[in-house]
Structure 1
Amino acid sequence: MAGAVGGVGDVVGRLGRVDAARHHGVAALVAVAAVLGVPNGFSNIGNQSTLYRQASARDAGIAAGLFRTSQYVGANIAAAVIELCFAGPASDPGLHRLGGVVVGISAVLLVGLVVGRQSR
């Protein structure tokens, strides 16, 4: 359940970020960033709960290490996507490209979550 709340909140928040960047000021961007903290927390809770539910007590340390390693790899991929979207100095078009990429990734992950639950 936490993953679904996180996924829906993530997509809605990312769409709000794109709109806020186009039509509103800095206060709207700060509000959207605050809203995005909620799905981030739910996603982390869901991921950690799943990790410890699926891993045996003997393998919990290994699973936690692999989980953390995958977060580092994801952070490096995110840095590369940011660089590709901005391709130079920070700009509104770069922010909009980045917002579109993140919305697309969030939507794909949400669909994967829903399809994965239905296939059980």
Structure 2
Amino acid sequence: MTFRIYSYTPSPAYVITFDNIEVFGVASTPKPPAVTLLTPQKITTDKKEVLLSGYAYSGVGLDKVEYKFNGHPVRVAIGTYKWHFTVHAPKGTSKGTVTATDIYGNLSKPRKFTIVRTK
């Protein structure tokens, strides 16, 4: 017996049609994305502007990489798989996080970073 697939809709829930017979299923939940920093998690500098960069990974595709810094609203980084952003660091210690979101809305664990501006 030979089956031909007439249609297939990939998503968390899917339908495969074989010669007018529909097979329903639910795909396994993808692992959450991961995000890494290329810059150290703690940066000590005398500069006002600090560039942070890194990589993000998802087995199903990335939607965005976001960062939150020093209590300011969440912002979107430039790029997804290879991302970067620049922050204005006030004098003293500031903290932030970076997260990645995949195409299904799954969120990575946040990567924390600290910037200590000395001047």
User: What is the TM-score normalised by the length of structure 2?
Assistant: 0.27
Normalized per residue, the structure richer in strand is 2
Normalized per residue, the structure richer in helix is 1
User: What is the TM-score normalised by the length of structure 1?
Assistant: 0.27
1 or 2 for the larger relative contact order (CA 8 Å, sep ≥6)?
1
* Greater Cα radius of gyration, structure 1 or 2: 2
